[in-house]
Chain A
Amino acid sequence: MNDQQYDKPMIMVRDLNKWFGEFHVLKGVNLTVRTGEVIVIIGPSGSGKSTFIRTINRLEEHDGGQIVVDGTELTHDVRNIARIRQEIGMVFQSFNLFPHLTVLQNITLAPNWVRRWPRLKAEKKAMELLERVHIPEQAYKYPGQLSGGQQQRVAIARALAMEPKVMLFDEPTSALDPEMIKEVLDVMKELAASGLTMLCVTHEMGFAREVADRVLFFDKGEIVEEGTPEVFFEAPRSERARQFLTQILKH
């Protein structure tokens, strides 16, 4: 990875605040993500890390602050939201594949209906992506016929089909059996190496160490600490991060 591709900010978040009722989930979060950067977000559950990445494509609405993605600010304007969502792919913990559509239909749906690609172009792209996530032979099956790891790889292919500039991963391996985690992480490593801008919420510390350009540690709605994985894992500055790491590494 070279440093030149990092100069333009892809995502800019300024003083982001959000409440769930009386509960202050995000307390003034600031973050700038450069193009091509891979960011891993870790932290205890309930710390607001999932909520944070869900505000970036407005699955959650923010109550204060500013989010700018690729030069477009997220406001109540539906056109802005639509534009930003087209540029951001998202992968969920529970896959959220559409069970009534085949794998191929799952992947071509958004290119067909949002990008208005002709069917053949969308299907060609879908088959390329299925090759990329190593399951081209599953194209005509339904999601229910696949294993969890395969389903999550289809979900990744589905998100990539829109040719997004940013990918958000919301605990993509947390619902998987141990032997399937590796196949999903391998695909994610390949994506990171290809220069895609990625934000991953995960508990996979090995993955974080290997591919992250920066690690963010969330606690109680704030970014408590951020740094390169080497610095963060070897010498965490904050007491809270140290505690969290010792607890994680015990297992």
Chain B
Amino acid sequence: MVANLPMQRPKLATGPRAWARKNLFRTWYDSLLTLIVAALALSALLSFIQWSVTDARWSVVTENVSTLMRGIYPTDALWRVTASVLLVVGLAGVSWGVWGSRFRSIGIALFGFAVLLLVVLSIQRGTAAAGSLSRYLTTQFLPLLDVIRDPLLILIALLTVGALLGRGLARANYVISSRALVILWLVTIPLVLLLVRGLTPNTPVLPLVPTSLWGGLLLTFMMAFVASVFCFPLGILLALGRMSGAHARRGEKGLRGWIRSQGNYPVVKIFCTIYIEFLRGVPLVTVLFTANLLVGFALGSTDIDSVVRAMVALTLFEAAYVAEIVRGGLQAVPPGQAEAARAMGLNPLQATLLITLPQALRVVIPSLVGQFITLFKDTSLVAIVGLLDLIGIAESVRQKAEFSGTQREMYVFVAAIYFVICFSMSVAARQLERSGSGRTTTR
């Protein structure tokens, strides 16, 4: 009795061949498109490899790696930068273990990368055999790997150990370890600033390293770090300020009425709106130049160093963008949420901090991360006001006579660094979106 058997789902063809047929060669024009794109990609890749193996002079990178990384930061204080990096990476690892969801796949990828690095390096350094490839390997590629091997291996190890530790902690008690981690991050941020900057010129412990000595990737990182940390709360305040006139309400007259008007402050709203629209309407370069001139003036002293000026400019500029993103999130929270909060007697501050803001921020995680990635890349503009960030250093190094004509090598290297960092931020953000926030449904 065939008719009474439960209906089976028809078997679907699986595997790479079926996938390719379905997605790449479904019709004749699909196939044509696939072939054209593949050919273009392949030829670009091949010509890049050929250039990189035969013509490129990677020595410009390998010989200047330390300058590119830290500028002229004094060598005897370098341990402080190292300690900061180790601290942050270790903590990032633990955070990944506690909050992250896709531990295994990324872990395997990192582990595989580490093994690859070791295997490539343990291959016998070829006796100077003929042929451009082996010459390339021995004289150009291996020195580069030599330079980055130890730091990378240590970082990967630290990240993995931290993640395993975090896993264990999360399993033991998720709530407590999660809270402890937030507190640890809040402590680490000022600690890192303190470590890298130091106290005063004359203190025996942690003597001051003036920002004029910071450079390269270190400077880029510190700028992005400081600007993100400060522009985030500032942006939230601006967004709340701009929303504060959203519900026009009649109130008592006078100052008392103004204070008690329950979150309806037209003056604040106008100020925030003007601030946001103005900063969004001008290019970052103008803000950087203006800050260079005005910050010292505003603080009544002329010896504010230019790194701090640039940090202030970046913070103020990015805060306007963060504010608009957060405002979008606030508007996406249904009005019933704030209504329910008010109806149960929460005051406007509690309703915002406990109900609307957490929901709004969760909605805008992807856009916020996008903005932080933009911010990280925006730091490269400080080269224009004469700071030697990664781009600035790269530019000054390759202008030396002995490295003339190596701008391609230099910028490929710089681009790779930017890419790795920004891509990691993207991946981390996707983890953040998945953890905990998947349950949100409005209603």
Q: Residues of A at under 8 Å CB distance from B? A: 57, 59, 61, 76-78, 82, 85-86, 88-90, 92, 94-100, 109-110, 113-114, 142-145, 151, 158-159, 162
Contact = CB atoms under 8 A, between A and B. Distances in A.
B358 A78 contact: no
Interface of B: 249-252, 257, 260, 262, 334, 336-337, 339-347, 350, 354-355, 358-359, 362, 437, 439-443
Nearest to A168: B343
Given A142-B440, A143-B443, 13 more contacts: A59-B342, A59-B343, A76-B250, A78-B260, A85-B342, A95-B443, A98-B355, A99-B359, A99-B443, A100-B437, A100-B439, A110-B344, A144-B441
Contact of B439 (A57, A86, A97, A142): A142
A76 B254 CA distance: 13
B346 A114 contact: yes
User: Considering residues A85, A96, A110, which has the most beta carbons from chain B within 10 angstroms of its beta carbon?
Assistant: A96
Closest 4 CB pairs of A and B: A144-B441, A96-B340, A96-B336, A110-B344
16 contacts: A59-B339, A78-B260, A82-B347, A85-B342, A89-B344, A90-B343, A90-B344, A94-B443, A97-B340, A99-B442, A99-B443, A100-B358, A113-B354, A144-B441, A162-B344, A162-B345
Contacts of B334: 94, 96
Contacts of A142: 439-440
Contacts of A89: 343-344
A146 to B, nearest CB: 10
A39 to B, nearest CB: 18
Contacts of B342: 59, 85
A213 B316 CA distance: 61
B336 A85 contact: no
B333 to A, nearest CB: 10
B44 to A, nearest CB: 46
A98 B340 CA distance: 9
Given A99-B359, A100-B362, A143-B443, A78 B346 contact: no
A142 B441 CA distance: 9
Contacts of A110: 344-346
Nearest to A115: B345
Nearest to B338: A96
B103 to A, nearest CB: 23
Contacts of B260: 76-78
Contacts of B344: 85, 89-90, 109-110, 114, 158-159, 162
A86 B337 CA distance: 17
